[in-house]
Chain A
Amino acid sequence: MRLGRLLRFLGLVVITLALTARAQESPYIFTYDHYLEEPGSLEVEYFSTFGTQRGGNDFDAFWAEFEYGATAWWTTELYFDGQTTFDDSTLFTGFRWENRFRLLQLEHFINPVVYIEYEQTSAADKILKEVEGHDVASDYAAPNRVLRKEHDHELEFKLLLSKSFKGWNVAENTIATKNLTGGNPWEFGYAVGASRPLALKASPKLCNLCRENFIAGVEMYGGLGDRHSFGLHHTSQYIAPVVAWNLPSDWTFRLSPGFGLNDNSHAFLLRWGISREFSGFGQLLARLFGGTKP
């Protein structure tokens, strides 16, 4: 019985992959704006970060994201991280569970969203999805066999503030992280971003290369020290142009070359990602378990 249900579930997943999907994604890879996933939609994403490493081997870290719109005010997301350090090894480095809550129902001058994440990763995790505290490039220089032995259980909180105006989006994230392992202090970080579509009006034709399908911007992020030593001293800082290409065929590509702004940062990070949104995934699941009739 269980096997039958599992097979039905797998069948529905395959059908879902053939469903039409809707994408209008922001170009940010690090920064969050206040837009949540549409209710019932599942977005499957793959991202990669190539990074240069001073005093060590360059690396390519990657992660898969499964982002689901539970309601119009709650989005939940699961990450699986991994990395390859060149001339070293490839590792699965952990998982994250992220939740975002929209606080206000209507749009306001500034729109706040609360972000709560639990992550269980090893020190070998190099996706650099968050840069906080005194995270510096030299932390990642050790070989994988050493880094993988250290495990982190972290709770991370963010206050996401965002505003869209005249086609522009401006977003600011304040990050606070508590490592539950040992007696580490609260660590802080930030991210800011601005972006705009290349054209504000949609063209009447379906097209891949229309200017409105491209969104370009820039984001900047870095650490702000910890509770005992708040500030920019001994932190890493990055700036990264970003561009997203939203295809009518439901795929989104993102590209972002990032540059370290001080000697504590990786000199160069090349991030890219591909994602696809599957609308109606929630309804499919509900049907599977008898929640609603087609």
Chain B
Amino acid sequence: MKIVVPRNHIAAVFAIFSLMLANYLAAARNQNSAQNQEKSVYAALAKAPQKAVTHPNPLQNDPNAVVAGGKLFEIHCSVCHGDMAEGGRKAPSLVAEEVQQATPGTLFWILTNGVVRRGMPVWSKLPEPQRWQIVSYLKSLAPLKVPQQIREPAPRASVIRSTRLSCVRLASICRFEHCHLSRWYATVVESSRLQNPQHGRAWLWPALKSVSNRWCYGYERCG
């Protein structure tokens, strides 16, 4: 049987897909320029409606919510936002002040609706309780209060503060497999190297190892 495909159909198909490609390229260009404007990355937080902003986290008192949220973050979010939520090329930091000061309801709204124009997909495919668990985890990433004895000397304390780890975060890490801990070491060392280029990696490693061992074996006491 001879196949006859009308030329106008082929032209229409090509026109449609050319349009799609042009749209895609335009969106990619917009996304790149938007990423350069760091502040506007967090503008979506302000778009949450008042009803969503004031919605309390129903899992606020759930003792497992943060750890379960950490697991979900690791599975679904860390690939873009980084293992430590420190941000990456594709997605902003979630330990930034803008995020940490946002209400749980705002974060839940962002998770549910995504920021499609900027490349964040909607996550309403996760059931509501799982989204609240992720919110619990994100809120646990508040800036770290470092114990006095490991705050000195000054460079070490600045390194630890820069990682913005909370005890709860450590608890979730320590409950995971050892590979996660190794990744945490790598992230901390890298982040401190970037922030303190004058210091080498050699002196840092034993200090961090000491701190993380201390917290991982005794994180229940963190408070």
Q: Which A residues lie at the B interface, using CB under 8 A? A: 20, 22, 24, 26, 33, 35-36, 38-40, 69-74, 99, 101-102, 105-107, 116, 118, 149-151, 153, 155, 164, 166-167, 169, 180-182, 197, 200-206, 212, 248, 279-280, 283, 292
Contact = CB atoms under 8 A, between A and B. Distances in A.
Contact of B125 (A155, A164, A203): A164
Contacts of A118: 13
A107 B121 contact: no
Interface stretch (B68-76, B144-152, B159-167): B68-76
Interface in B7-61: 9, 13, 16-17, 20, 23-24, 27-28
A149 B1 contact: yes
Contacts of A20: 79
Contacts of A204: 64, 67-68, 71, 175
B9 A155 contact: yes
20 contacts: A24-B75, A24-B126, A35-B122, A72-B120, A73-B116, A73-B117, A99-B17, A106-B116, A200-B130, A201-B68, A202-B68, A202-B72, A203-B68, A204-B71, A206-B71, A212-B127, A212-B130, A279-B79, A280-B79, A283-B89
A38 B79 CA distance: 11
Contacts, number: 114
Nearest to B6: A180
Given A167-B128, A200-B128, A40 B90 contact: yes
A244 to B, nearest CB: 12
B202 interface: no
A180 B89 CA distance: 43
Main SS class of interface, A: loop
Top 7 nearest A-B pairs by Cβ distance? Answer: A200-B127, A204-B67, A167-B127, A279-B79, A201-B129, A202-B68, A72-B116
Contact of B113 (A39, A106, A182): A106
A116 B20 CA distance: 11
Contact of A200 (B6, B116, B119, B129): B129
Nearest to A168: B127
Contact of A151 (B3, B13, B128, B177): B3
B191 interface: no
- Is the contact region of chain B dominated by helix, strand, or loop, or is it mixed? helix
Contacts of A22: 75-76, 79
B71 A202 contact: yes
A74 B75 contact: no
A73 B120 CA distance: 9
B124 interface: yes
A269 B31 CA distance: 44
B133 A202 contact: yes
A61 B44 CA distance: 46
A248 B13 CA distance: 39
Contacts of A181: 3-5
B112 interface: yes
Given A33-B125, A106-B113, A202-B133, 14 more contacts: A24-B76, A71-B27, A72-B118, A73-B27, A73-B116, A73-B117, A99-B20, A155-B13, A200-B129, A200-B130, A202-B68, A203-B68, A212-B127, A212-B130
A151 B3 CA distance: 7
Contacts of B5: 153, 180-181
B89 to A, nearest CB: 6
B1 A150 contact: yes
Contact of B121 (A72, A164, A169): A72
